[in-house]
Structure 1
């Protein structure tokens, strides 16, 4: 049975993204168009547009004559993602120099409180989303569309990397670390903010089990159906 009738490609994208982020669609899973059409009650063109968007974000790869699969980053790719994030996000802090004011700080602190609430609620999906969204919010507040576009791609890839290399019990980013970055910004100490960001991303990378290739969970017979038809 389809999850819901007349979903847009953006809604389909979000459902698949969420299942990847929550480790319910393991890397290497084949995303069969026919099965996705059944699950979502959507046409092939709509499914393909959603898959193309996921491929653009690096979460899905298209293999000629085989179809679409959830991407599986290598150890080198995982390290490269976090190295690049450290470079880019220091640039985001630099770009924020002209844009930090009471409204900016209020928006960041409100977001951090939402992160804390998601942790208290034990809402894994919301915690993952808000963790990445904090970094995107910094880029948006820096008023640099190019940096925001670059970071969006990197945050998406980080989500996939953690799905492969991070134990389910670990948290990729913590609100306390985000709060230390905002505290430095509130003091106007941008060097300290850059240092806090660098330390934060190094710690996130440190929690990855880069000597492994995943958590070893067995594939289910119908992993798409099991992952995408769960209540959200």
Structure 2
């Protein structure tokens, strides 16, 4: 459902968004306009456009006279994000379970195979990317462009939250729980699919240590090139 990226500020936005979603750009990392302009061969005005869009989506915080930084979500925000995801994703799995098509289930199962391969290879970058894509695929197949867009931003914020609050460098979102959700959708069992999705998101949230904040700064040149 994502539209084709063409303009310079959209390219910058997408590259930064992806780096955040894959947990390569850590919360608290400064996004220097001059460095970004050099990396993407654009004017600082284009960079400011992208940073402003990222700020509107809650992924970047811009401080006067200090610059832009990857946002550092609070514990309260972390809980709100998971609450919002539960509400939205319950609606999506219910909608998809109401009339699951063969094509939809085939796409979900093919995606699960990619997740299993990534886990087997211990490819952390692919694991993180595919885990988020699974949830977005459900939104796409459920036919809600609006909820897909909202969920896309929530998943990116989840990556920020995980980067700050997860005790160990592991991911709780994997093909086993995803597989159970797909099985319930394929059977048209909306109530069970809803229950499994809620349990799955609770599992991810409870893996977080919401008592301690951890940040790490990383050089933009290494991340975005």
- TM-score computed with the length of structure 1 as normaliser: 0.85
Q: Within 5 Å, give how 1:15-34 maps onto structure 2.
A: 15-34=15-34
Higher-RCO chain (CA-CA 8 Å, sequence separation at least 6): 2
Deviates more, 1:190-199 or 1:8-17: 8-17
Whole-Å separation in 1 of the counterparts to 2:192 and 2:210? 29
Aligned residues: 220
Q: What displacement does 1:22 show?
A: 4.3
Q: SS of the residue aligned with 1:68?
A: strand
CA RMSD of aligned residues (A): 2.2
Deviates more, 1:199-208 or 1:56-65: 56-65
Kindly report structure 1 stretches of 4+ aligned residues shifted beyond 6 Å.
none
8 Å contact kept, 1:22–1:163: no
Residue 225 (structure 1) aligns with: 221
- Structure 2 CA distance for partners of 1:156 and 1:186, relative to 1, 3 Å: same
Q: SS of the residue aligned with 2:100?
A: coil
Residue 4 (structure 1) aligns with: none
Whole-Å separation in 1 of the counterparts to 2:168 and 2:38? 29
8 Å contact kept, 1:57–1:153: yes
Show CA shifts across 1:3-26 (max 9, x none): xxxx94344334323433444432
Q: SS of the residue aligned with 1:225?
A: helix
Whole-Å separation in 2 of the counterparts to 1:74 and 1:197? 24
Q: What displacement does 1:90 show?
A: 0.7
Structure 1 portions without partners, runs of 5+: 1-6
Q: SS of the residue aligned with 1:199?
A: helix
Residue 140 (structure 2) aligns with: 140
- Structure 2 CA distance for partners of 1:118 and 1:50, relative to 1, 3 Å: farther
Q: What displacement does 1:179 show?
A: 0.4
- TM-score computed with the length of structure 2 as normaliser: 0.88
